Structure 1
């Protein structure tokens, strides 16, 4: 049930606090911690049996820059304007410029905030395209050094990674929830919010919830902060708003059902960019960059050294299936730790044989490779501008990799090859205040993280969900605490 409940109709109040946060992922943890540090009493509701949500299952990258300690230690000169120029292009079109400028200007302080939680970042760089470095390197490239972005802003790596190998979201949430507990934040798990509670003046003053089969009511004296995640797990909402993700796997903890968005929308809250999505194609960057990514017609359609999310979006709208094509030399040059269990599905001595195996038009792949090789021999890629570092003529024998077979723990499990999540959500101001369809603040209601549209337009870069969620979660928590 999402229809708001009138305070006058509430028969019993079970809990009361200053600030009530709904959802304990990265945005909820940041909001709760900052609200508590201002002196407010804080209760967090989490529908699962423990904290973390999709944030804990994420890679853990944090998109930070402007001249962090890690960047400086590795000799990279960065500043907020340079960071803004890249993100405006990478997260666009239609990124939220006001929020984005604030995020870039506050990035150094935000980096220090993470360090204060006990999160460490190694002063080393993983210097190759990857979905997730298998190392403890504290910095990685996220497309800043690929065309056209290297023409828009000075290339500087900004993917900051907590000091752990592979996926690091668990470490981020471990430190954040520990800080919340130490600060005195009260957490109620196994508690699912069902509706907002509104007083006669239209102010949000709490929520109703379900806990172990019983109805419970929470009131908030100063404000309610929604940090309930996106809506990729809600098929109805996907059909209505983001059909690009229908039929594909999801990047979530299984609980991103849009409940917070719908609770607020039922009160007249505005939503923004609900069709915007992020997709990840299980085409291994270490392979694609050493060869090429082609569509079902045997044609290239993107420079393969871009942030993998860029070629994923491009592949989503290509005539499929798409394939990673590389030669024996390229395959053998990939470090074992970067192979993620992926092996070629097809191999042939000639491109004509490979075309036939892949059901491509005769001569299509042959012509694509011939043009690529001609230019690569001169260190050029006039069609798509792949960096010269990765350009080399491809010679037989040749191999093809089918991204539909996954990688890592999903290697060999055929699906569409795409996994995604939603980027759109509630419309908020820079302080986390939820705005109505008329553009006015909804009194007492705040939001952050994937429940909002955040800084994103129709583009995405790894680390901007955790970065955006925590940065604006902190602001929402402070604003709600001020009442």
Structure 2
């Protein structure tokens, strides 16, 4: 039996399982722990549940032959799903977690549906960040090069039935499920440190609410689902300096507190330098045109998952990028799907446009001439853009400045920045059941983690839906494991 440390003479509260953080991973962990027979308390520093999950597009990356995929006419298998994720989330993606996640993906879909998450059996069949419809399925780069050569393409972005951003709907359903299972929560409550016994086992946590400090004992286990560290510039400077200075994708509470609390009791971390970079371009416009760097050169296929364009733009081009298109490409996309984007420069020739952008003389002309020659024959030997999006561009030409930002529905006006919106991917080293490992690879007794506080499926790559999918699935496993511990 673990002994209470002398400095904690008595705990103020006790519960079987204590969950810190109430985003998608916390809600999933709390639900599974409660349905496993445990008393569950959730603490969250915000004024209510949701976190970054509630602000997200709501996509959950699922495949392997879900009912929504089959209804839309797509065959899929766990093996093909895993082959795609190994390539898209690498290098050094977690192969064991990917294999397990893909093998259980159909079952995880049913778990979400059984909790009440609605999915419409229809497909949004064009590049997009967030479709303007309630279609329940979308492509997330599976049908773009080089992935078409590595796995049989199938769309796997599963969206809750909501137009535009569906994260709030997803979280409303998950929190309602947790509450119906008996989970209780305290908000405006920030955990400050973990409490361990002399053997290093985690007994609970110290927290602060409205200026008062109190302690909570977790009789069976404590689950950290406190998010990443994009809101902590000191941690970014130490681990992921390329993410500094950009728009942060968070609810303002991804301060790395859970990661730091666990490190203080000996936890190991992985992939702390990795991060995702969304780019302020409209995917439907990029696919119809060209994305070029400060040398006037293409550097990525434009019809791929837009987050992949963002990573290449930030990490390889330092966000010195432009979207080049013509009038037809701009007008083909309905105004409602342009998210307020307008060209920054227009010119009658590629040379004139290149001069306006400060590109090397003749560079844009050479790039556009080569692209048009191949597009006229329906091929793209340089970046293998799908024939559907290949068409020679005709003057006048326009350039979109990604630094001008976009205006997603219901998200206020566009604001000028670097053109990148970032969050972290690295975190605590965990097993597939969420047990947090120390620096020798040994589980820390009583401590579990999931979501962006943990290093999940990802290596250096990212695909939309893998945060919500990873968080809910491995959150479930962490909650189950914590509840089973006696």
Q: Which category of TM-score, normalised to the shorter sequence, fits these structures?
A: over 0.9
Gapped runs of 5+ residues in structure 2? none
CA distance in 1, matches of 2:205, 2:328: 60
CA distance in 1, matches of 2:106, 2:471: 16
Partner of 1:214: 212
Partner of 2:61: 63
Q: For the Cα contact (< 8 Å) 1:295–1:319, is it kept in 2?
A: no
Partner of 2:302: 304
Partner of 1:419: 421
CA distance in 1, matches of 2:6, 2:483: 24
CA distance in 1, matches of 2:303, 2:293: 17
Q: For the Cα contact (< 8 Å) 1:405–1:411, is it kept in 2?
A: no
Partner of 1:339: 338
Runs of 4+ in 1 over 6 A off after TM superposition: none
From 439, 445, 448, give the equivalent of 1:446: 448
Q: Which moved more, 1:67-76 or 1:196-205?
A: 196-205
Tell me by how many angstroms 1:7 deviates: 2.4
CA distance in 1, matches of 2:6, 2:307: 48
Tell me by how many angstroms 1:319 deviates: 5.8
1:33-432 equivalent positions in 2, closer than 5 A: 33-316=31-314, 317-318=316-317, 321-408=320-407, 409=411, 412-432=414-434
> Could you say what secondary structure the match of 1:9 adopts?
coil
Q: Which moved more, 1:335-344 or 1:47-56?
A: 335-344
Partner of 1:9: 7
> Could you say what secondary structure the match of 2:230 adopts?
coil
> C-alpha deviations, 1:447-466, integer Å up to 9, x for none?
00000010100000000000
Q: For the Cα contact (< 8 Å) 1:296–1:319, is it kept in 2?
A: no
Partner of 1:437: 439
CA distance in 2, matches of 1:384, 1:327: 20
Q: For the Cα contact (< 8 Å) 1:233–1:256, is it kept in 2?
A: yes
> C-alpha deviations, 1:235-279, integer Å up to 9, x for none?
010000011101111000010000000000011100001001000
Gapped runs of 5+ residues in structure 1? none
Q: For the Cα contact (< 8 Å) 2:344–2:399, is it kept in 1?
A: yes
> Could you say what secondary structure the match of 1:19 adopts?
strand
CA distance in 2, matches of 1:25, 1:74: 30
> C-alpha deviations, 1:317-370, integer Å up to 9, x for none?
216521100001111111222111111111111112111111111111001000
Instruction: Report how many aligned residue pairs link the two structures.
Output: 479
Q: For the Cα contact (< 8 Å) 1:297–1:319, is it kept in 2?
A: no
Tell me by how many angstroms 1:412 deviates: 4.6
> Could you say what secondary structure the match of 1:439 adopts?
coil
> Could you say what secondary structure the match of 1:94 adopts?
coil
> Could you say what secondary structure the match of 2:6 adopts?
helix
> Could you say what secondary structure the match of 2:242 adopts?
helix
Q: For the Cα contact (< 8 Å) 1:8–1:199, is it kept in 2?
A: no
Q: Which moved more, 1:330-339 or 1:104-113?
A: 330-339
CA distance in 2, matches of 1:321, 1:345: 14
> Could you say what secondary structure the match of 1:293 adopts?
strand
> Could you say what secondary structure the match of 1:7 adopts?
coil
Q: Which moved more, 1:215-224 or 1:407-416?
A: 407-416
> C-alpha deviations, 1:125-147, integer Å up to 9, x for none?
00000111111000000000000
CA distance in 1, matches of 2:290, 2:412: 22
Q: For the Cα contact (< 8 Å) 1:224–1:446, is it kept in 2?
A: yes
CA distance in 2, matches of 1:263, 1:372: 52
CA distance in 1, matches of 2:354, 2:327: 17
CA distance in 1, matches of 2:470, 2:381: 35
Tell me by how many angstroms 1:411 deviates: 5.2
Tell me by how many angstroms 1:155 deviates: 0.3
CA distance in 2, matches of 1:50, 1:449: 18
Q: For the Cα contact (< 8 Å) 1:66–1:83, is it kept in 2?
A: yes
> C-alpha deviations, 1:90-122, integer Å up to 9, x for none?
000111000110000000110001101111111
